[in-house]
Structures are given as C-alpha cells and as structure tokens.
Structure 1
C-alpha cells in the first residue's frame, strides 16, 4: 500500500469514527465531511446560471469587480448578477453565516435601489453588495465547504398539515428531519410552501429569522420560482440552528409559542373573514402608541383585538410600522462602542433599525400569505416590536427635539437639502433629522430627499444594514398615510448621518471602473 493511500485510508477511518460519535448533523455543522476518499458530496447546481454562480464564488477578489463590469458591458443584466449572487450565497452559507445571511438580505434591496438611480449609477449598489458577498465566501473558504447540497424529501404522513409538521421537525433541532420535511413540502405549489414555512418563522422573535424569510421570497421575483426550494431552505436551517442554540444554552423558547395560538383561539380569528374596516389617523396613531408602550403580550393582544374587530390588516400593519419607527426616533444611541458602530450611533443592528426591518418583513409576509398567516404575522409582528421597546433604554421624547427644530429656519427646499447633506457629512444625527423634518413639514417633494439619502445608502457600509433599511423606509413611506409618513424619512436621515464615514469595501473600485466620481 502506498504511503499516501494508507494515510487516506486511516484518515477515512478516523473521520468515520468521529462522525459516528457526534452524529451526521453536528458533523456537518463542524465542517466534517462524511464523504470518503474518492467520493465527493453531491453538488447543488443551477443550470444556465451555474457558470456565473461559480464565478461569483471563485473569482479572486482583486479581479471580481473587473469581471463584473466586463459582464455588464457584454450584456449581462443586473438582475442576472443579483440572482446568481443569491444562489452562490445560499449554496455557500445555507443561512448559517452572520455576514453571509446579512449579505443575502441586502441583495434584493440593492437591486431595488438601482430602479431609483440614473443609468450610469445603477450598477453601484449591486456591485458593492456582490463584492461583499464574494469577500465573505472566500474569507470563510465557503466555496470549498458549501452548506447546501441536494436533499432527499421524506415521506410525510398522509393528510397531515404541512406547517405543523415542519414546525415539529424544526423544533426537534435535527437538520436532516427538518430539511427532509421541507424538501417534501417544496414539491407542492410555491405559495403553499411559503405559507407552511411561516409556522416555523413565527416560533421565535429574531430579526434575521423573519427578514431572511421575506427576502428569500422577494428574491424569487428576480431568480425565478424554480429556485424556491434552494432560497427558502436557508430559513429552515436558520431555524434549526436557533433551536439547537436554545438546547445548547438551556434557554426557554419564546413565549410567542404560547401567546399566538392562545390569541388565535381567544378571538376566534381563524373562523372569521379578514376585515376591511377602514381606520382613521387617530385610530392608527393610538394603536401605534399602544404597541410602542406595551409589553409584548399586551401589544400582541392589541393587534389581535383590532383584527377581531374587523379592521383592515393594512391598518394594523401600519400601526406596527409606526411603533417600530418610534424606536429609531426615541433611541438614545449606543452607550458602548463596537467596531464600525461608535458611541451614540444608531445604524447597523440598533433596536430601531432592527425593529423597522422586522416590521417591514412581517407586513410584507402578511400581504402575500394565506388568511391564517396574514393574521399570525401581524400578531407576531406587534409582539416583536414591543420586545425591542421593552428591552431598551429610550428617550422620553422623539428626536428631533423642539429646540433642534427651531434651529432650522430656511424654507427653501434646495437650501434645506444642502443643510441636510452637511449635517450627514458632519455625522450630526439630530440636525439631519431636524432638517428633513422641517423639509417635510413645509410640504416639499419627497423625491429629492430620497435621492440625497439614497446616495449614502449606496456608498456607505452601514454595518451591513444600509441597503435593507433604505428600502424599508422607502416601502413604509409609500404605505403610510400622509399624516405620519415623514417620520420614516426623518428616521432615515438620522441613521444616514450615523452611518456616514465608512464607505463600503469595493465601492471606490466600482466607481473607478465605471468612471464615476465617488
């Protein structure tokens, strides 16, 4: 026997013994392959997109932007690049890497941002997120240790509801059981698969859990429904990982597991049709204040009671959005500095940004789901928002304060936007918020204000949140009544000033290749 063959043989025996002792699921998490010499794990591939997906995993980072611009110049469109990047991310990380899933969640928002930019600037938000994507894949060597591989569907009990089955499989904290169950469910219609997934999403309160689910669904519009299983199964693995952590650290599951079914039953919500009762400004503002100031159980019950009274789910969702927006406006800022997030900052994973992104995801899921999940998403969304409020130290009054507003005296829209930009560049959160508040109060056109803030959502890193939060605010502004919608832009101005000063890696290089002055 040759020496190298003997070493391979012994290594295979050792690997097999280790896998046998820790189990196949844990071995996969530890990066221990169950394949032996001469074997390779089956690779998940993506048809015509496969060459581009592989290129986004394997092209050296110092050559990536040049390759991408060359692709654009030769006719590859931004939608195709984003779709391939989403698949490269899913295959590499499977919802298991912190920076990885943040990057996935930024892809669709980056593409949405391109629709608001002049032609010559459209590639910039996409190129910077694709750079982040490849950088993380290669930093973790995930192109050589991919998480997602083909999975065999389990045979499910006949005439069993898919959502509860998946929920039980996920709560078992077993990847194989949950993945096999979901693979079986994914053989059905895509919208049904998404609805069945929501039972598991609603089990815990975590911004990444709900936003990953929503962004995977939104990505289907770009990548196509043929990739639904690949994109959505990231959420299954995320949820199993969460369940394993509960067990590992002996933590109790969220009380939402008790609160949600109790409220559905208490208010007989599943036996009633969805209401279409219109809500006036005073009602929406009152519900928003209730959600903001209540404990999580009270907030959830307020949403449930409103739905039981027949109010339009959009009105309930609007109140949840305004309550989460209040968390940005009342945030005192960080009291402890972190890398890329200094004292007083409110960007990145701040309570308000997280709550706003979560509320946006819960509302969007409610819009595309069946009746049960429309109701459940809004109840859980209200609970989730109140968790952020209940666990945070917030200012009694919202920013900008009255004395900060009184310092803004101009009524000229152009001058006001110039003052807003100067405040952003000085990282003066409160002045930036005050200027945009006064700009809106004077009835000026929102589009130039969005254009200003979009510029920095494109250039800045935002501690992984710039793209998502910009798109959250844009959507919530559009879906909020005129009396309240400017609160969203005021919050975005504050967050933009907070995040200014750290351009996203790869942004300057992209500007240079596109011959754009950065």
Structure 2
C-alpha cells in the first residue's frame, strides 16, 4: 500500500469535498479530481485553508469569481477567510518575489478594511477585486506548478550558524549575501512570537530604499494577525525573500551600496539615539509644519538628520512621523498639472504609503527599531523626487470655480470632477468642504466607491487605507490635506487600467457587481 501523509490525507479529503460541492463536470473542467498530485513532505502547511487555497491556485480568475461569490452568498465562507486563503495562495506561489504578486498581497488587508465601510450587499466587492487580481497573476506564473515557499527542517542546518549575536543583524547580513535560505532559517530561530520575528526583520527592511520592502513588511505582519501564529513563518519568510531579491537586483545592476547603510549608524551615534527612550514632546503646529517642509525640501541626508535631531530633542515619534507624513503628502499635492498621473506608482502615493508603513511599524517595534525606522522614513521621503515646482493643489484658479457651499452640492461637484479626471476641481471642492467643517465620512464613502471600481495601477486599496489612517493621526490643522490628496489621486485614476489606457474599470469589477446583484 502507498503511504499517505496526514496532510496529504486531509488535502485529498478537502479536495474530494470541494469536487463534490462544485459538481463532477465543473470540478474536472477546473482541473480538480478526488486524486491530487503529491506535494511532498516539505510543502507548507495550509491548515484549515487548504481547500480554498488550492481552489484559488488552480482556477482561472474568470471561473474563480462566480465560485467565491456563491460560497459567500451561501454563507459557506467569510470574507476574512477568503483573504486569508488568498494570502496563503499568494505566499506559496510567489514568496514575495513577484511584482504584481507582492502588490496584490499588500492590498489584501486594505481590501478587507474597505468591506467594513460598505453596505452589506457591496461588502464582497473589494475582496473579489483583489482576489481576481491574485488569481490572474497566479495563473500567469504557472498556477500550482510553481511553489516558491517550502517548509524546511531546522536541525540539519542551524548548528554551524548558532550565535549569540543579534539575529536581526544576522538576517540582514544574510540578505546582503542574497542567502534567503540562511535568512529564513535564522528567522525561524526567533521562536517567541511573531512580533519578535517582526522585530528581527527590521534591520533588513531598513537596509535599502525601496517602498515595497517597507510596505510589504508592514502589510505582511498584518496578514499574520489575520491568519494567526501558525502561519507566521510562512508569511514573514517572504520578507526575507523580498529583501534578498532586491539585493540581488542591485548587485546585478552594479549599483553602489545604499548610502543609508553608512548614514543611519552615523546619525544614531551623532545624536546618541541608540539607547535613548522615546520622547513625548509635541512642539506645536508651526514646528511640525517646519519639520515637514525641511523633510520635503531635503536633500535626503538633511531630511534624515532633521528627523534624528527631532527625536534627540525628545519630540514624540508620533509627531515626527506626522511631519514625515505631511512631507509625503506634498508630493501628491504639488505634482504638476491636471494631466499628471498622480495615482499608481507616483512619487506621492509611494511616499505616502511608505511613511504610513513606517509610522505603523514604529508603533509596533522595539524602541531602537522605531527610532531608526523613522529616520529611514524621513530619508525615503526626501529621496522620492526633486521637490515639485507646482504650488500645492488646489490652485487659486481651481478654487475660483467653486460656487456652491452645501455639503451635498460640493460632493456632487467632486464626483463630476472625478469622472472627468479634473484633479484641480476635485481638490478645490474637497478643500472647501473641509474648510466648512463638514463631516469626513461622506467624502470617504465617495472616494471608496472609486477605490473599489477603478484599477489604480495596483495602489488604490493601499493608498485609500493610508489616507484613512493618516487623517486620524494628523492634527486638525493639517488633516484635511490627506483627504484633498485622496481626491486628486481618485480623479487621476478614474477610467484608467494598469497600462494607462482610458475607458476601463478594474478587472472583474463589473462581473462581480452582476454576481452580487448590485449596481456597477
């Protein structure tokens, strides 16, 4: 008799039940049967998500979406479980090393957060949207024939690497050597909790200037919170792979060592920040605005030093992070004319998402990593681009076009401007709305509508969540700048697909609306 592993047995049972639930002909059409290919003893454990993960990895997007909508409608799964399974399907397929793949993973928690702001019948839309994108990329990569992450046995490999030195530094050095296997094994030694593992990743995440390594680390840790400790090694190992892959590309392109590797320890020593407790001082609105301007105008070394000096003066990391966030926001508000593409991988969206990630990581991490992370965040905010010459939107000429003053009419003007890609008019209407003291929720509901329906060049979900969080953590004098920036990005993105062709909605969106019986 052929021996069967426990996981193999459970997988066969799960797949058999899935095949029965789908029907024989449909299951066969999708490539399922009651007998599945063996995956080997070193495959990643998928636990209770096994069947859904396999469904997502083996089903084309256009066939997957009706099945998922049906499962949700029947109450046989939840939106949370769909995102959990989608995250695992993404992890085992890409391992953090596929451009569309890791962008999709970064959108999963924001998509789930979006569901809480929607009417019940529309709640599945952002989840179906991101899982459609996930399935498309998995199929493009070769479906389940490609498995990036594998389990491994630690005892055989760790003796020669055992050390009392800082595991975070060892992981960082492994990434510098492009040795992902060593990095993953070192990460697995951090066994106390996922938060300890997350702290051990910080030196590697801070080791180079790439928005994706920052946001991916933060959003991946969020997925650990969603899926639980049993999947933390699977999910966080992707961060090691991602950093190694970024280092590999740097070496292949014969690029110099990132300057932050020399600058960060220099600033930590110069301002005696290594063992310093976090301060609690808030210097007031004017000082925060001045710090944000110093970071925005740069250059990047001075931006990092401005943050280091502020932390050394005892200014609260929340306040320093707020100033960096306002600097990042300026990239959106000052990026050229109405014809500028400010959505997707633009300077402002990238910088804002990166700063949001660093602020959140500083709240989670050990003090030393919180301090160094905010310095890196300021450096990154100063590296995005030369400061734009355009004044911050809206310009006076845009504000002069606003002749209404009720909240309903201002929102109507905003929506019309979005549909016509009029960035200046959209920002002007929202600025007037905010200045009048009207409630923010109706604006966010309007923007959410388009964050779900439009492609956003892989960044729509993340940036919407960034703005929601930054609005709440920015002082009243400046917080509406975040909403004005969201209006501009929303107007920029309307109707454009990933290739910047106009006249498109997000892939799968209209079909999802039809399946759910809601208006597209």
Query: What residue number does 1:48 align with?
Result: 48
Distance 2:39 2:383 in 1: 48
Distance 1:297 1:41 in 2: 49
Query: What residue number does 1:260 align with?
Result: 264
- SS in structure 2 opposite 1:449? helix
1:177/1:513 CA distance change after superposition, 3 Å: same
CA contact (8 A) 2:447 2:486 kept: yes
Unaligned runs of 5+ in 1: 1-37, 335-342
CA contact (8 A) 2:62 2:508 kept: no
CA contact (8 A) 2:275 2:368 kept: no
CA contact (8 A) 1:195 1:369 kept: yes
Deviation for aligned residue 1:41:
7.6
Query: What residue number does 2:227 align with?
Result: 223
Distance 2:145 2:482 in 1: 42
State the Cα RMSD in Å.
Answer: 1.5
CA contact (8 A) 2:90 2:134 kept: yes
CA contact (8 A) 1:278 1:311 kept: yes
Distance 2:266 2:177 in 1: 22
- SS in structure 2 opposite 1:251? coil
Task: After superposition, give the CA deviation of every residue in 1:245-272 in whole Å (9 maximum; x if it has no partner).
Answer: 1221111121110111111111111222
Query: What residue number does 1:201 align with?
Result: 205
Query: What residue number does 2:358 align with?
Result: 362
Distance 1:180 1:215 in 2: 22
Query: What residue number does 2:326 align with?
Result: 322
Query: What residue number does 1:512 align with?
Result: 514
CA contact (8 A) 1:478 1:485 kept: yes
CA contact (8 A) 2:61 2:135 kept: yes
Runs of 4+ in 1 over 4 A off after TM superposition: 38-41
Query: What residue number does 1:383 align with?
Result: 379
Moved more, 192-201 or 176-185: 176-185
Deviation for aligned residue 1:175:
2.3
Distance 1:221 1:435 in 2: 38
Query: What residue number does 1:125 align with?
Result: 126
Query: What residue number does 2:153 align with?
Result: 152
Matches within 5 A, 1:118-517: 118-153=119-154, 154-155=158-159, 156-185=161-190, 187-332=191-336, 344-390=340-386, 394-501=388-495, 502-517=504-519
Moved more, 151-160 or 204-213: 151-160
Distance 2:95 2:272 in 1: 37
- SS in structure 1 opposite 2:384? helix
Deviation for aligned residue 1:447:
0.7
Distance 1:279 1:216 in 2: 34
CA contact (8 A) 2:336 2:390 kept: no
CA contact (8 A) 2:42 2:152 kept: no
Distance 1:39 1:60 in 2: 21
Deviation for aligned residue 1:496:
0.3
Unaligned runs of 5+ in 2: 1-37, 496-503
Task: After superposition, give the CA deviation of every residue in 1:104-148 in whole Å (9 maximum; x if it has no partner).
Answer: 000000000111111111110001101110111001214211111
- SS in structure 1 opposite 2:144? coil
Distance 2:429 2:451 in 1: 18
CA contact (8 A) 1:151 1:179 kept: no
Query: What residue number does 2:11 align with?
Result: none
CA contact (8 A) 1:333 1:346 kept: no
Q: Normalised by the size of structure 1, how large is the TM-score? A: 0.88
- SS in structure 2 opposite 1:253? coil
Deviation for aligned residue 1:486:
0.5
Query: What residue number does 1:80 align with?
Result: 81
What is the count of residue pairs matched by the alignment?
Answer: 470
- SS in structure 1 opposite 2:132? helix
Q: Normalised by the size of structure 2, how large is the TM-score? A: 0.88
